[in-house]
């Protein structure tokens, strides 16, 4: 083994490695060349034996510029690569974040009730699929909300169009929903407002027991409440959840049944009045007939008196039946009227002729003051004569020794005909009821007057058939005045 020369980069162990067959390369300063050198030691093999070694020296200075150039290229490449990647990352993030921002905006608009916004879908990746799904959700929400709004509007219009009042309460008695008719039926109670409690309105407090019974039984409960002078029917039905069928509230339907109750009362009164009116003449006819049969009369004159009473009561029955039939025809609307221009003086003259003997017998002064600008009126001749007969007949019975006056005057929309007397008048408390059937202001004269008690009711119906109006003014002891307005068309 040859020893290494001073300044050599190789050491003895390196030489040993070369003679074992390894190639050794080292880099460093070589004193012999006075330069940085790259030294390579190679084994030389002859006849399959390493007989010698070859050392190759080359200065490194010639590689530095190339290495520096390579380093520069690598550094600049890395620099431009970072810039390029940053730019690409920026645009890529913008590409990804912009749809997400738009989706967030659309989602917030959906939460606020704006279903018109859409996400532009420009790709088929996961972001595009998410945008398409959000658009579909927006479209479906818009469709469902529109349908719900339409149904809600329909329900509100139905509630507003109903003649009955509807109030919905929750289980605690808080008002959830009501229509204007309900508030009107409850006399426009200011406490009938959404989220108010039932007990806050005095009228609704009457429903408390019905409300509790509905909650306890879960069945329909009916009852009535009074609102001032009105009678209001209340029907309370349980309101159930469509999913679990649990009780979530009570629906109350209010209906004004005042007219129905009064109608029932009038029907009962009508039957009672008819029975009362029929009982007296029938009893008299029966009594006097039995007296004649039993030969109670002591003389022919007394017997004739019995027969006269029977005839008068039979005529009373006849008038009653005729008046009832006439009133029934007028109220049923089956009669037809033929309007024509009628001379008021002519009709009054005919009526006065019919009552001439009664007027003289009761010493009544009959006067007619027909205005020159209102000599005629448009009406049915027969019904007008019937109306005047009833009014004048009624005046004759209560104005003996007094005056009856018939006047006419022109109005903007028709002719007013007035029939007044200076008789006993009508008590103020009886004025609202004088046009009702069988009503008599003076109960003590209900038989002596000879009337059936439905003459004024017939008068009112004749006026209504002519699309007119009738009013009465009276003061007890000073007479009464009936004013009838006939339209000009």
Answer yes or no: is 318 within a domain: yes
**Model confidence band, residue 483 (pLDDT cutoffs 50, 70, 90):** very high
What is the per-residue pLDDT for 482? 93
Asked if 347 and 478 sit in the same domain, the reply is yes
Answer yes or no: is 7 within a domain: no
What is the per-residue pLDDT for 332? 64
Q: Are 221 and 210 in contact (CB under 8 A)?
A: yes
Residue 315 tokens, joined: 């005529």
Residue 140 tokens, joined: 């479906």
| Alpha-carbon gap, residue 327 to 453, rounded angstroms | 12
Mark which of 198, 231, 256 sits at the end of a domain.
256
Classified as helix, coil or strand, 261 is helix
- Choice among 92-106, 187-201, 249-263, 291-305 with the minimum mean pLDDT: 92-106
Asked if 271 and 371 sit in the same domain, the reply is no
What is the per-residue pLDDT for 277? 66
Mark which of 331, 348, 364 sits at the end of a domain.
331
CATH number at residue 204: 3.30.450.20
What is the per-residue pLDDT for 321? 77
Residue 108 tokens, joined: 């917030």
What is the per-residue pLDDT for 481? 92
What is the per-residue pLDDT for 418? 92
Asked if 173 and 105 sit in the same domain, the reply is no
**Model confidence band, residue 442 (pLDDT cutoffs 50, 70, 90):** low
Backbone angles phi, psi at 423, to 5 degrees: -85, -145
Q: Taking CA 136 as the corner, what is the angle to CA 135 and CA 141, rounded to the nearest 5 degrees? A: 100
Q: Are 331 and 461 in contact (CB under 8 A)?
A: yes
**Model confidence band, residue 484 (pLDDT cutoffs 50, 70, 90):** very high
Which residues make beta-bridge pairs with 43?
A: 53
Q: How many CA atoms lie within 13 A of 256 on its CB side?
A: 16
Asked if 226 and 347 sit in the same domain, the reply is no
Answer yes or no: is 353 within a domain: yes
- Choice among 138-152, 166-180, 469-483 with the minimum mean pLDDT: 138-152
Is 288 exposed, middle or buried (CB count within 10 Å of its CB: 0-12, 13-18, 19+)? buried
pLDDT tens per residue, range 119-134: 777 777 777 788 788 7
Q: Are 173 and 199 in contact (CB under 8 A)?
A: yes
The answer to whether residue 447 scores a pLDDT higher than 60 is: no
| Alpha-carbon gap, residue 196 to 201, rounded angstroms | 9
Following DSSP, what letter does each residue of 202-234 receive, concatenated? HHHHTTHHHHHHHHHH-S-EEEEEEETTEEEEE
Q: Is 469 left (phi over 0), alpha (psi -120 to 50) or beta?
A: beta
Closest alpha carbon to 362 in 397, 405, 312: 397
pLDDT tens per residue, range 383-429: 888 889 888 888 888 887 888 999 999 988 888 999 999 888 888 88
For the chain, the helix, strand and coil percentages under 3-state DSSP, each to the nearest 5: 50, 25, 30
The answer to whether residue 443 scores a pLDDT higher than 70 is: no
What is the per-residue pLDDT for 452? 58
State how beta strands 414-421 and 35-46 pair. unpaired
Mark which of 282, 306, 331 sits at the end of a domain.
331
Backbone angles phi, psi at 431, to 5 degrees: -60, -40
Answer yes or no: is 223 within a domain: yes
Q: Are 371 and 409 in contact (CB under 8 A)?
A: yes
What is the per-residue pLDDT for 407? 92
Helices 455-465 + 300-332 axis angle, to 10: 30
Closest alpha carbon to 39 in 70, 60, 63, 67: 60
| Alpha-carbon gap, residue 423 to 332, rounded angstroms | 34
- Terminal alpha carbon distance of the chain: 153
What is the per-residue pLDDT for 247? 87
Residue 169 tokens, joined: 């309460």
Asked if 318 and 415 sit in the same domain, the reply is no
The answer to whether residue 117 scores a pLDDT higher than 80 is: no
319/286: higher pLDDT: 286
- Tell me what percent of the residues of the chain surpass a pLDDT of 90: 5
In the block, tokens 């024509």 appear at 340
pLDDT tens per residue, range 205-234: 888 888 899 888 888 999 988 888 888 899
Asked if 176 and 249 sit in the same domain, the reply is yes
Closest alpha carbon to 316 in 346, 270, 276: 276
Structural domains counted in the chain: 5
What is the per-residue pLDDT for 86? 86
pLDDT tens per residue, range 25-47: 887 777 777 777 778 888 888 87
Q: What is the mean pLDDT of residues 162-173?
A: 86
Answer yes or no: is 4 within a domain: no
Which residues make beta-bridge pairs with 474?
A: 480
232/6: higher pLDDT: 232
What is the per-residue pLDDT for 11? 75
| Alpha-carbon gap, residue 284 to 280, rounded angstroms | 6
Asked if 232 and 248 sit in the same domain, the reply is yes
Answer yes or no: is 1 within a domain: no
Reported residue count of the chain is 489
- Choice among 288-297, 331-340, 385-394 with the minimum mean pLDDT: 331-340
Answer yes or no: is 72 within a domain: no
Asked if 129 and 235 sit in the same domain, the reply is no
- Tell me what percent of the residues of the chain surpass a pLDDT of 70: 89
Asked if 151 and 26 sit in the same domain, the reply is no
CATH number at residue 451: 3.30.565.10
**Model confidence band, residue 146 (pLDDT cutoffs 50, 70, 90):** confident
Q: What is the mean pLDDT of residues 247-273?
A: 80
Residue 444 tokens, joined: 């003590």
Q: What is the DSSP letter of 240?
A: E
What is the per-residue pLDDT for 7? 47
Q: Are 231 and 256 in contact (CB under 8 A)?
A: yes
Cβ neighbours for 84, distance < 8 A, ≥ 6 positions apart: none
Answer yes or no: is 236 within a domain: yes
What's the chain's average pLDDT? Answer: 80
Residue 33 tokens, joined: 């060349």
Q: What is the mean pLDDT of residues 445-454?
A: 53
The answer to whether residue 475 scores a pLDDT higher than 60 is: yes
| Alpha-carbon gap, residue 398 to 385, rounded angstroms | 20
Q: Which domain holds residue 280?
A: 261-331
CATH number at residue 298: 1.10.287.130
What is the per-residue pLDDT for 64? 66
Asked if 116 and 153 sit in the same domain, the reply is yes
The answer to whether residue 71 scores a pLDDT higher than 90 is: no
Asked if 90 and 156 sit in the same domain, the reply is yes
What is the per-residue pLDDT for 6? 47
What is the per-residue pLDDT for 445? 42
Cβ neighbours for 20, distance < 8 A, ≥ 6 positions apart: 43, 50
| Alpha-carbon gap, residue 479 to 191, rounded angstroms | 48
Asked if 365 and 291 sit in the same domain, the reply is no
Q: Taking CA 129 as the corner, what is the angle to CA 124 and CA 132, rounded to the nearest 5 degrees? A: 110
The distance between the two most distant Cα atoms of the chain, rounded to a whole number of Å, is 197
């Amino acid at each position: 083994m040859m020893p290494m020369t001073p300044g050599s980069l190789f050491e003895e162990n390196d030489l040993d490695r070369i003679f074992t067959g390894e190639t050794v390369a080292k880099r460093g300063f070589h004193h012999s060349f006075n330069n940085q050198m790259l030294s390579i030691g190679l084994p030389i093999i002859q006849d399959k034996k390493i007989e010698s070694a070859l050392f190759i020296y080359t200065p490194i200075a010639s590689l530095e510029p190339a290495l520096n150039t390579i380093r520069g290229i690598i550094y600049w490449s890395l620099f431009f690569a970072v810039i390029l990647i940053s730019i690409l990352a920026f645009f890529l993030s913008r590409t990804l974040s912009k749809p997400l921002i738009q989706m967030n905006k659309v989602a917030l608009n959906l939460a606020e009730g704006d279903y018109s916004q859409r996400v532009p879908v420009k790709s088929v990746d996961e972001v595009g699929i998410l945008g398409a799904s959000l658009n579909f959700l927006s479209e479906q929400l818009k469709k469902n909300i529109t349908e719900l709004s339409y149904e809600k509007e329909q329900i509100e219009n139905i509630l507003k169009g109903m003649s009955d009042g509807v109030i919905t309460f929750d289980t605690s008695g808080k008002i959830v929903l009501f229509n204007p008719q309900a508030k009107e039926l409850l006399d426009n109670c200011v406490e009938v407002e959404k989220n108010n409690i039932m007990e806050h309105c005095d009228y609704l407090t009457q429903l408390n027991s019905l409300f509790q019974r509905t909650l306890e039984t879960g069945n329909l409960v009916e009852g009535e409440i009074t609102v001032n002078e009105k009678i209001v029917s209340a029907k309370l039905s349980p309101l159930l959840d469509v999913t679990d069928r649990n009780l979530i509230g009570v629906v109350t339907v209010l209906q004004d049944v005042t007219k129905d109750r009064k109608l029932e009362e009038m029907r009962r009164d009508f039957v009672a009045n008819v029975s009362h009116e029929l009982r007296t003449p029938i009893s008299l006819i029966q009594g006097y007939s039995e007296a004649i049969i039993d030969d109670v009369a002591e003389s022919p004159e007394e017997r004739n008196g019995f027969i006269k009473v029977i005839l008068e009561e039979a005529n009373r029955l006849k008038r009653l039946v005729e008046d009832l039939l006439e009133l029934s025809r007028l109220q049923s609307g089956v009669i037809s009227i033929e309007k024509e221009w009628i001379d008021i003086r002519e009709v009054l003259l005919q009526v006065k002729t019919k009552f001439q003997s009664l007027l003289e017998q009761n010493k009544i002064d009959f006067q007619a003051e027909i205005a020159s600008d209102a000599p005629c009126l448009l009406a049915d001749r027969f019904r007008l004569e019937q109306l005047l007969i009833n009014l004048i007949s009624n005046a004759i019975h209560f104005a003996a020794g007094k005056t009856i006056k018939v006047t006419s005057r022109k109005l903007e929309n028709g002719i007013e005909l007035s029939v007044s007397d200076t008789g006993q008048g009508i008590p103020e408390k009886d004025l609202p009821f004088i046009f009702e059937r069988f009503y008599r202001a003076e109960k003590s004269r209900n038989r002596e007057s000879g009337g059936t008690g439905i003459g004024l009711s017939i008068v009112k119906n004749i006026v209504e058939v002519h699309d007119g109006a009738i009013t009465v003014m009276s003061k007890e002891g000073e007479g009464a005045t009936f004013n009838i307005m006939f339209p000009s068309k």
